[in-house]
Amino acid sequence: MISLHAIQIWSALWFFMDALLLYLVKGLAMLGILFGMTVPAAFIRDMIVLVTLHVSTLHWVMSLLYSQQITSISSFMALVQASLNQNFL
């Protein structure tokens, strides 16, 4: 249910951004003419980083959780192995 709301919000944002996209492209062209190609290239790279920020944040959180899970499982396995190796007789 949450993913459907996220898709709907994303499509609404792109609907409004579509009108601004033409001005963005024209602005990038003017920056390229005035300051050379490096400024628009850096701006496009920054926009790509901002657009994919949610993916990199999600990756960081998931890898942190995975690391915690692996550490917990390995600790639990060490505990189980230690209790199995004890001689109760």
In tens, the pLDDT along 21-63 reads 788 888 888 888 888 878 788 888 888 888 888 888 888 889 9
Is the Cβ–Cβ distance between 28 and 43 less than 8 Å? yes
Is the Cβ–Cβ distance between 31 and 41 less than 8 Å? no
Is the Cβ–Cβ distance between 40 and 31 less than 8 Å? yes
User: DSSP state, 45?
Assistant: H
Model pTM? 0.51
Amino acid at 48: I
Compute the distance between CA of residue 55 and CA of residue 47 in angstroms, rounded to an integer: 14
Amino acid at 64: L
Tokens of 2: 């949450």
